[in-house]
């Protein structure tokens, strides 16, 4: 896609970001990079807004308690699906706070409870620590733990970027060793679904589109994954038998083609899959809703498709 196809607000935002002086996140100490992401949320993302419940809890994990956060537009609800969110940030950045506005918005739009998982981050906890936490927390939530105060009838894993990678891996893990309740659908958002392969979009959008080749190299160095392990590269496994899948990508994104390839692999495997591409925007747009308000329409379109997959009213 050529440069004129960028949305005007996206062009303005990128011009601003690319002109900022100083070091890039991947050139900073880890603590400073993480703090910068926190600051950017309050500059570029939408407010959290009103919800009946925003409540912290913990799941038992392989290396100790895993922090979680529950979002629900209703104070009480009957048995039903639970959405489980894994944040992006290259397995290095991000936490419960950086993606809170998006989780709250999805809880409202879907009218379902959402639980975000605060998995261990690299480089302090390299591969496979984070994905082990994600799988363990999701299994625990499937059992309707008393702390959740909700009866879970099915799971909907979702996440962005590195969290999209976790979404697919969790779904594969629960396909092969089912949890207490089934996975009803999955929603990987601009996912790192095939990180071992260099697709054309990686070269086309390698610089100046927020996510860069420099940052991706830094993420990989910090995460230190085993490139032959499917828990890093989920397309190393067949996708047959996965639940209905919604893949959402951004057109001007260096990992756009990974999402396209994943949707194609699902279709070839006989998975019920829907593919949506947000035209004229960039990686990270779900957490830039103040700076890029057109992203609200992209999110709403995806939510409508996901509701249809789950047999919910629009």
Residues 282 and 7: their CA atoms lie apart, in Å, by: 10
Q: What is the CATH classification number for the domain harbouring 266?
A: 3.40.50.1820
User: What is the percentage of the chain residues whose pLDDT exceeds 90?
Assistant: 97
pLDDT tens across 199-220, in order?
999 999 999 999 999 999 999 9
Q: What is the pLDDT of residue 2?
A: 43
Pairing of strands 53-59, 245-252: unpaired
**Looking at 87, 99, 252, 283, which residue is catalytic?**
283
Q: Is the pLDDT of residue 58 over 80?
A: yes
Active site residue 220: no
Catalytic residue among 220, 253, 257, 298: 253
Cα–Cα distance measured from residue 244 to residue 143, given in angstroms and rounded to the nearest whole number: 22
Domain contains 245: yes
Long-range interactions of 272-276: CB distance < 8 A, separation 24+: 272/243, 272/244, 272/245, 272/309, 273/244, 273/245, 273/246, 273/247, 274/244, 274/245, 274/246, 274/247, 274/305, 274/309, 275/247, 275/249, 276/246, 276/247, 276/248, 276/249, 276/301, 276/302, 276/305
Q: Which of 87, 118, 161, 220 is catalytic?
A: 161
Q: By mean pLDDT, which of 24-28, 87-91, 107-111, 305-309 is the weakest?
A: 24-28
Is pLDDT above 70 for 3?
Answer: no
**What is the rounded average pLDDT of the residues 227-242?**
98
Say if 19 falls within a structural domain.
yes
CA distances from 198 to 169, 194, 213, 223 (A): 20, 9, 11, 18
pLDDT at 1 over 70: no
pTM: 0.97
Indicate if the pLDDT at residue 4 is higher than 70: no
Strand bridging mode 80-86 / 114-117: parallel
Q: In this structure, is residue 124 part of a structural domain? A: yes
pLDDT for 313: 85
pLDDT in tens, 256-305: 999 999 999 999 999 999 999 999 999 999 999 999 999 999 999 999 99
Helix 295-309 vs helix 100-110: angle between axes, to the nearest 10 degrees? Answer: 50
Closest listed residue to residue 239, CA positions, set 310, 156, 168: 168
In this structure, is residue 28 part of a structural domain? yes
Q: Quote the domain boundaries for residue 70.
A: 3-309
Nearest to 287 by CA among 101, 163, 161, 105: 101
In a domain, residue 59? The reply is yes
Name the pLDDT band for 240 (thresholds 50, 70, 90): very high
Q: Per-residue pLDDT for 314 more than 90?
A: no
Residue 229 a catalytic site member: no
In a domain, 314, yes or no: no
Q: Is 118 a catalytic residue?
A: no
Share of the chain above pLDDT 70, in %: 99
pLDDT of 244 over the 70 cut: yes
What's the whole-number mean pLDDT along residues 19-34?
Answer: 94
How many domains are there within the chain?
1
Q: Looking at the predicted structure, is the pLDDT value of residue 241 above 50?
A: yes
């Amino acid at each position: 896609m050529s440069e004129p196809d960028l949305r005007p607000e996206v062009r303005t935002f990128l011009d601003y970001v690319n002109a900022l002086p100083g070091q890039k996140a991947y050139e900073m100490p880890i603590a400073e990079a993480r703090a910068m992401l926190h600051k950017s949320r309050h500059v570029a993302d939408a407010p959290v807004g009103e919800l009946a419940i925003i409540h912290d809890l913990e799941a038992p994990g392989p290396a100790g308690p895993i922090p979680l956060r529950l979002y629900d537009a209703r104070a009480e609800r009957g048995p039903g699906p639970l959405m489980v969110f894994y944040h992006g940030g290259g397995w290095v950045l991000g936490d419960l706070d950086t993606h809170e506005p998006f989780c709250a918005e999805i809880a409202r739009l879907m009218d379902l409870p959402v639980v975000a998982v605060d998995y261990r981050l690299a480089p302090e906890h390299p591969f496979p620590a984070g994905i082990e936490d994600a799988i363990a927390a999701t299994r625990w939530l499937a059992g309707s733990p008393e702390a959740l105060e909700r009866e879970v009838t099915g799971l909907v894993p979702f996440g962005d970027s590195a969290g999209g990678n976790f979404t697919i891996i969790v779904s594969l893990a629960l396909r092969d060793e089912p949890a207490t309740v089934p996975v009803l659908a999955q929603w990987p958002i601009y996912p790192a679904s095939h990180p071992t392969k260099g697709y054309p979009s990686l070269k086309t959008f390698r610089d100046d589109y927020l996510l860069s080749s420099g940052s991706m190299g830094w993420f990989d160095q910090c995460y230190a994954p085993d490139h032959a392990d499917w828990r890093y590269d989920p397309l190393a496994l067949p996708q047959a038998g996965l639940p209905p899948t919604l893949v959402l990508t951004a057109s001007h994104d260096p990992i756009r083609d990974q999402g396209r390839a994943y949707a194609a692999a699902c279709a070839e495997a006989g998975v019920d899959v829907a593919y949506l591409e947000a035209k004229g925007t960039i990686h990270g747009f779900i957490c830039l809703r103040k700076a890029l308000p057109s992203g609200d329409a992209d999110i709403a379109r995806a939510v409508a498709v996901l509701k249809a997959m789950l047999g919910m009213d629009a």
